[in-house]
Structure 1
Amino acid sequence: MQHSTHSVDVKATTPKEQLLEILKEKSVCRGTFALASGRQSDFYVDAKLTTSEPRAALLVGSVGWELVKEIARARNVQVDSIGGLTMGADWMALSIGIAAYLDSPSRDIQTFSVRKSAKKHGRHKLIEGNFSAGDSVVIVDDVVTTGGSTLQAIDAIEASGGNVAFVIVLVDRQEGGREEIEKRGHKVVPIFTRADLVDRNAGRRSHIAIA
C-alpha cells in the first residue's frame, strides 16, 4: 500500500484548498483494497487520517460549517443537529459542530453518532450523543461509495423521529452512492469528489448544485 506523496501546496490559500491538499497528502492510497461494499479498488481514501488530525479537523469544521449554512439558506431549512454512522462521521460531525458553536453559540447546533447496532447494555441506545426526536438533521459521512453507511444512518434517524434536511460527505468516490441516497429524496453535497483528489486543479473549479 502506498500513500500519496503530495506535499501541501503553498498556493492553497483558502481553507477548502488547504483541506484538499491535506487529503491528497494523508489520505489518498494506491494499492489493492477491499472496499466496505466488497468491491476491489486500486484507489482508497483513508479519510480518517485527515479528519482525526487536529490541523485538518479545524479545516473540516470551517469548510463543513460554511457549506451547512449555505445549503440551509438555499433550501430554507433549519438545522438542529449533525451526525452520521460511526465512525466515519464522528470526527467530521464534531468538527463541524465546534465550528458552528464558535461562529454562533446561540444556534445551539448539537452532534450525535449512530451506532451500527444498538448497545446490548445500559440504555440500549442506537444513537449516541445529543439527538432528539423532531430534530432537523444534517447527515455527514467521510466517504461515500455505495451510499450504504449513509443510508443506514438516515434510516436510524428517521426511525427515531428525526427529519433529514440534507447530506454532506467529505469525499464522493463517484461510484453511484450519491445517486442511491438521492433516490430516497435526500440532497447530497460532497465537499470533494474523487476527481478532485486525482486532478490537482479539479477541486478549485468543480461545482455541485446545493439547492
Structure 2
Amino acid sequence: MLAERLRSLIAQRCLKVAEEPIFKLSSGKLSKYYIDLKQITLDPEGAYITGKLMYEMVREFRPDGVGGLTLGADPIAYAVSFVSYMDGYPIKPFVVRKEPKGHGMGKQVEGLLKEGDRVAVVEDVITTGSSSLKAVEACRREGLEVIGIFAIVDREEGGQENINKEGLELYSLFKLSQIL
C-alpha cells in the first residue's frame, strides 16, 4: 500500500524528535519535532509515491493547476503533474515566488495558467498554514480560483483553523500524530 510506504519513509528519513523544543520552524516557533520532507520529495521513489497519493487527493476537485510557495511545494507540484499526465488528466504545475519578481513582468506566480483557472495549493508540511495562505493570496491576485490546500503532513498546530478562517479546507495525507 503506497500510503503505508510513504508513512514509513517519512518516519525513517524525515522525522527528527528531541526531548525539548529545539527545532526552529518557519513560523518562528520552537518544536520537539522537525519534518524535512525534501528527503522524500527529492527522491525518485518518494517523488513517485507523493505524486501518486497527492494526485489521488486533488483529482476529484478537477483542478487546472497544482503548486504552491517555493521550495517545499515545487517537487510535489511536478510529481503530481507528471502522474496526472500519465493518468490522462494533465494538471499544470505552478510555482509561487516568496516575493514578486523584481524584473521582467514582475510575476509572483509562474506557470501556464490563466485567469479563472482552478488551482490546488500544495504544501509539504503545514504548521500554522501561513506559507500556504501566502501562496493562496498570490494566486487570488492572479485571478486564480483556489479550491483548497493539500499537504503531505499536518502538524496539527493550528493550520487547519487558520486555513478554515480564509474560507478554505485543508486536506492532508497524514497528521503528525499518525507518523509519531
Unaligned runs of 5+ in 2: none
- 1:168 equivalenced with 2:150 (yes/no): yes
2:85 maps to amino acid = Y
How far 1:36 moved relative to its partner? 1.0
2:40 maps to amino acid = T
1:80-159 map, 5 Å: 80-104=64-88, 107-159=89-141
Question: TM-score when scaled to structure 1?
Answer: 0.81
Percent identity between matched residues is 37
User: Which fold has the larger relative contact order, with Cα–Cα distance below 8 Å and residues 6 or more apart in sequence?
Assistant: 2
How far 1:194 moved relative to its partner? 0.4
Of the three residues 20, 42, 45, the one matched with 2:7 is 20
2:45 maps to amino acid = R
Aligned length: 177
Matched residues in 2 for 1:94 and 1:119: separation?
21
Runs of 4+ aligned structure 1 residues displaced above 6 Å come to: none
- Per-residue CA deviations over 1:22-54 (Å, capped at 9, x if unaligned) read 111111012321111111111111111111111
Of the three residues 37, 41, 46, the one matched with 1:56 is 46
Unaligned runs of 5+ in 1: 1-13, 73-77, 199-211
Matched residues in 2 for 1:121 and 1:52: separation?
29
How far 1:87 moved relative to its partner? 0.7
